[in-house]
Homo-oligomer: A and B are copies of this chain.
Amino acid sequence: MKIDPKNPANLSAQIATAIRNEIIAGRLIVDERLPSEAELSDQFDVSRPTVREALKRLAAQSLIRTQRGASGGAFVNRISFQEAYAQQVTTSTLLLSMNDVSFETACEARFALERSCATLTAKRRSADHLAAMRAEIHRQSQPGLTDEAFCASDVAFHRALVDGADNPVLSYQLAGAVEAMQPLMNMITFSARDRERIIALHEQIADAAEAHDSNAVFDGLTALEVETQSLAAGVFAQRAAQH
């Protein structure tokens, strides 16, 4: 665990990287306590604020947590699925919004990934997952729902679908794909007719999941992708014509 003192700028980044590598390599295990800030500043031969900046970098990635008081300190953190999930969503959302990713590309990726759940969800979905999907369908049918609320419910529907596969790793990996689409979807205004078509497809998918029919789930998602793409294409074409 060493740093390069010749490069006097970036010290805190170097220290953070050094500690991060120790954690990734498994030499620092979960719940193990790091040396105190004073000890670390001795070890690395830097001041305490520099060590602290390094620790904050690690805390930002949920790699460590800190605790005040006697027998406090910095501890290697067990990354929970929840934390990783939130990070995934943040990173994916920013990636899409900052890099001029076309709606088409993002949508293609999202449905391609989501279809990968079709088989598992059709096989394993619990009554709870089905109920969650039905509840969102019901919400989507409410009149007077804003576009934003409709999109949020759409995301919730798909999350229930993904969670139905009963594989936490799959749920985590898909979090970014599904949730990061929301800002892009929010750019679309849905007519009552559009909503009807989407809700009908959601019902088709929920029915298929209930019947354990994986092919029908797969096909329902594909139909939903086609619907979404053509809807978006229409909105963007109209918007382009106006300007």
- Report which A residues bind B (CB closer than 8 A): 9, 12-13, 16, 20, 23-24, 26, 30, 49, 52-54, 56-61, 63, 68, 78-81, 84, 87-88, 90-99, 101, 105-106, 108-110, 112-113, 115-117, 119-120, 165, 167-170, 172-174, 176-177
Contact = CB atoms under 8 A, between A and B. Distances in A.
Contact of A173 (B68, B81, B113): B113
From A56, A59, A97, A172, residue with most partner B Cβ within 10 Å: A56
Contact of A61 (B91, B99, B113, B167): B91
A95 B112 contact: no
B84 A95 contact: yes
A78 B58 contact: no
Q: Is the interface of A mostly helix, strand, loop or mixed?
A: helix
A54 B59 CA distance: 11
Contact of A108 (B16, B23, B63, B170): B170
A148 to B, nearest CB: 14
A99 B119 contact: no
| 4 closest cross-chain pairs (CB), A and B | A57-B60, A109-B169, A116-B116, A109-B170
Copies of this protein, total: 2
A101 B168 contact: yes
Given A78-B99, A99-B78, A173-B92, A105 B167 contact: yes
Contacts of A24: 90, 93-94
Contacts of A13: 59
Given A9-B68, A12-B56, A112-B120, 19 more contacts: A13-B59, A26-B97, A57-B59, A60-B61, A61-B61, A61-B87, A78-B98, A79-B99, A80-B99, A81-B95, A84-B95, A88-B91, A92-B172, A108-B170, A109-B167, A112-B165, A113-B113, A116-B116, A169-B177
Given A91-B61, A92-B173, A95-B81, A112 B117 contact: yes
Contacts of A119: 112
Given A81-B95, A95-B79, A167 B108 contact: yes
22 contacts: A12-B56, A16-B60, A23-B94, A24-B90, A52-B53, A54-B56, A56-B56, A61-B90, A61-B91, A78-B99, A79-B98, A84-B91, A87-B87, A88-B88, A88-B91, A105-B167, A105-B169, A112-B167, A113-B116, A116-B116, A173-B173, A173-B177
